Amino acid sequence: MSERPKWLDNAVFYEVYPQSFKDTDGDGIGNINGITEKLPYIKGLGCTAVWINPCFESPFGDAGYDVSDYCKVAPRYGTNDDLINLFNEAHKLGMHIILDLVPGHTSWEHPWFKESMKAKRNEFTDRYVWTDSIWEEPVGYGSLRGISDRDGSCAVNFFTHQPALNYGFYRPTRPWQQPTDSPGAIATREALKDIMRFWLSKGCDGFRVDMAGSLVKNDEDGKGTIALWQNIRAFLDEEFPEAAMVSEWGEPYQSLAGGFHMDFLLHFGSSHYNDLFRCEKPFFNGSGDASAFVEKYIDSYERSGGKGLICIPSGNHDMDRLARHIHGDNKKLAFAFLLSMPGAPYIYYGDEIGMNYVEGLTSVEGGYGRTGSRSPMQWDSSANAGFSTAAADKLYIPIDPDSDRPTVQKQLADENSLLNEINKLILVRQANRPLQSLGKIEFVCKGEAGKPLAYIRSFESERIFIVINPGVNSAEIEVNFSFGEVIYSFGKGAALCENKCTVSAGSAVFVKIK
Positions that interact with ligand NOJ (CB under 6 A): 62, 65, 102, 158, 210-211, 317-318
State whether the Cα torsion 312-217-52-438 is positive or negative.
Answer: positive
Cβ-closest position to ligand NOJ: 65
Least CB distance to ligand NOJ at residue 508 (A):
29
Helix (H) or strand (E) holding 422: helix 418-431
Specify the residue, 46 or 372, whose C-beta has the smaller distance to ligand NOJ.
372
Q: Give the integer Cα–Cα distance in Å for 408 and 445.
A: 35
Name the packing angle between helices 223-239 and 183-200 (round to 10°).
40
| 198 φ, ψ (degrees, to nearest 5) | -55, -50
Least CB distance to ligand NOJ at residue 100 (A):
8
Specify the residue, 158 or 240, whose C-beta has the smaller distance to ligand NOJ.
158
Residue 469 pairs with which residues in a beta bridge? 507
Question: If you ran DSSP here, which 8-state letter would residue 4 be given?
Answer: P
Specify the residue, 210 or 275, whose C-beta has the smaller distance to ligand NOJ.
210
Least CB distance to ligand NOJ at residue 257 (A):
21
End-to-end CA gap in the chain? 37
Least CB distance to ligand NOJ at residue 413 (A):
34
Q: What is the largest CA-CA distance in the chain?
A: 80
Least CB distance to ligand NOJ at residue 479 (A):
39
Specify the residue, 129 or 441, whose C-beta has the smaller distance to ligand NOJ.
129
Q: Give the integer Cα–Cα distance in Å for 310 and 440.
A: 12
157 Cβ contact list (under 8 Å, min separation 6) = 104, 105, 141, 163, 164, 165, 211, 214
Strands (DSSP E) found in 279-409: 310-311, 346-348
Least CB distance to ligand NOJ at residue 385 (A):
24
Least CB distance to ligand NOJ at residue 464 (A):
33
Specify the residue, 164 or 441, whose C-beta has the smaller distance to ligand NOJ.
164
Specify the residue, 65 or 293, whose C-beta has the smaller distance to ligand NOJ.
65
Specify the residue, 317 or 325, whose C-beta has the smaller distance to ligand NOJ.
317
Least CB distance to ligand NOJ at residue 62 (A):
5
156 Cβ contact list (under 8 Å, min separation 6) = 105, 141, 142, 143, 144, 162, 163, 164
Specify the residue, 367 or 452, whose C-beta has the smaller distance to ligand NOJ.
367
Least CB distance to ligand NOJ at residue 158 (A):
4
Judge whether 57 and 107 are in contact, CB under 8 Å.
no
Judge whether 88 and 96 are in contact, CB under 8 Å.
no
Q: How many other CB atoms are there within 10 angstroms of residue 81's CB atom?
A: 11
Alpha helices, DSSP H only, in 174-329? Answer: 183-200, 223-239, 252-257, 273-277, 291-303
Least CB distance to ligand NOJ at residue 29 (A):
17
Q: How many other CB atoms are there within 10 angstroms of residue 90's CB atom?
A: 23
Least CB distance to ligand NOJ at residue 66 (A):
8
Q: Give the integer Cα–Cα distance in Å for 45 and 48.
A: 9
Judge whether 258 and 300 are in contact, CB under 8 Å.
no
Specify the residue, 213 or 452, whose C-beta has the smaller distance to ligand NOJ.
213
Specify the residue, 57 or 62, whose C-beta has the smaller distance to ligand NOJ.
62
Least CB distance to ligand NOJ at residue 111 (A):
19
Specify the residue, 162 or 423, whose C-beta has the smaller distance to ligand NOJ.
162
Give the 3-state secondary structure of 24-66. Answer: CCCCCCCCHHHHHHCHHHHHHHCCCEEEECCCEECCCCCCCCC
Specify the residue, 274 or 291, whose C-beta has the smaller distance to ligand NOJ.
274
